Chain A
């Protein structure tokens, strides 16, 4: 590489030895926070991704920069990824629906049939 960069800012930096070994320590890029985005007042906050941050306040600042710079947003939540409790994905079958659950559903109750039967019987 020639020493002169096309980028005037790069030249001003007086970059060091290209063969220098730089090592980033584990943990240097802080902790991970999950981000939840609210598009309009009254709507749910929806999960949109993560940011790395040293604490919750800065996580909010970074989340605004990363997830609210274009589309509409009225609020954000952040929470440490480690503080999310979730079911084990292996247990997914426990959510399988028993077909005999129409007693939980509006469609499980046929009032019109009963009303019509009652009217006809008169």
Chain B
């Protein structure tokens, strides 16, 4: 049911109800103790309004990213080289749509309907991962996405799977299991080009050069500029800082790129052996904000395709509709 005490956001973003704006300090303390002890929070449990709001925002945007992320790769299914690559790409794209479904369900347990989330995506109010606003121009782009974008997503998802909200953790457990296949098939296709003909190597190097900045943007702005995330860390909504995750990604994957004789378009990129941390040139953060706010090469097309799918699929949804069904929220 959508009634009851757990609705944060009325469909399409009406305001918080007045009584939810003021958390009971005793309940808040008990809630924070539970999280500190490593307990998971479940849908029916008491939680601060801000925890609910931040989780909805996080899980919803994660869901949108899975769905939109399937578009640039889905494009390439018919053109993937060879039968095995086609099968693997179909399986991967289907997994990503499945991840979107799992995550929408997890967000729905917090009281926001799936329709409200879809509407917020289509209106541009709710964001998705910025990397998917760039085009996949060649087959090499698909291998860079499958290897490195999925690798970056795994760093993020493995961290979030240790978070405090039960339904999100359970969804991520299943997602991470499937991501290991995505990473492996991407790495395999990437290596094939890197060790192939001079044309294949050049195509891959070109794709890497174009994708490097979006990949550096992937984990978000540097810690020194991002706003107050201490509360979110304490509540185990955010599990690692942007810079920590970026560093972890660089540490695991830059050596795997360099060992294949490829280069990365950043002369400052190196591991500082004294600190153990990676150093790099700051990517252009103005470009990041320009693209996330609608100015990227593919923002309009991505949303147009989603709108088309909603509109063209509507008659099917309506034809199957059973008027006797009563809507309810997922239980867990």
Q: Which residues of A contact B (CB under 8 A)?
A: 1, 5-7, 9-10, 13, 15-16, 18, 20-32, 34, 47-52, 54-55, 58, 65-66, 69-70, 80-82, 84, 86, 88-90
Q: Which of A6, A16, A21 has the most CB of B within 10 A?
A: A6
A112 → chain B closest CB, angstroms: 40
A30 in contact with B113 given A80-B328, A81-B328, A82-B1 (CB within 8 Å): no
Q: Does any Cβ of A come within 8 Å of B310's Cβ?
A: yes
A82 in contact with B328 given A24-B115, A66-B98 (CB within 8 Å): yes
Q: Is the CB of A50 within 8 A of B321?
A: no
Q: Which residues of B contact A (CB under 8 A)?
A: 1, 11, 42, 44-45, 71, 75, 78, 94, 98, 101-102, 105, 108, 113-116, 118-119, 122-123, 135-137, 170-171, 174, 178, 297-301, 303-305, 307-308, 310-311, 314, 317-318, 320-322, 325-332
Q: A6 vs B42: C-alpha distance in the bound complex, in angstroms?
A: 43
Q: Is the CB of A27 within 8 A of B44?
A: no
Q: A82 vs B130: C-alpha distance in the bound complex, in angstroms?
A: 36
B105 → chain A closest CB, angstroms: 5
Give chain A's interface secondary structure class. Answer: loop
A28 surroundings in chain B (CB, below 8 A): 115, 314, 317-318
A58 surroundings in chain B (CB, below 8 A): 320
B307 surroundings in chain A (CB, below 8 A): 15-16, 20, 22
A86 surroundings in chain B (CB, below 8 A): 44, 331
A22 surroundings in chain B (CB, below 8 A): 122, 307, 310-311
B108 surroundings in chain A (CB, below 8 A): 32
Q: Is the CB of A89 within 8 A of B123?
A: no
A54 surroundings in chain B (CB, below 8 A): 317, 320-322, 325
Query: Which of these, A1, A34, A50, contacts B298 with CB under 8 Å?
Result: A1
Q: Is the CB of A29 within 8 A of B94?
A: no
A88 in contact with B325 given A30-B317, A54-B320 (CB within 8 Å): no
Closest residue of chain B to A17 (Cβ to Cβ) is: B304
Q: Is the CB of A49 within 8 A of B314?
A: no
Query: Which of these, B118, B123, B299, contacts A21 with CB under 8 Å?
Result: B123
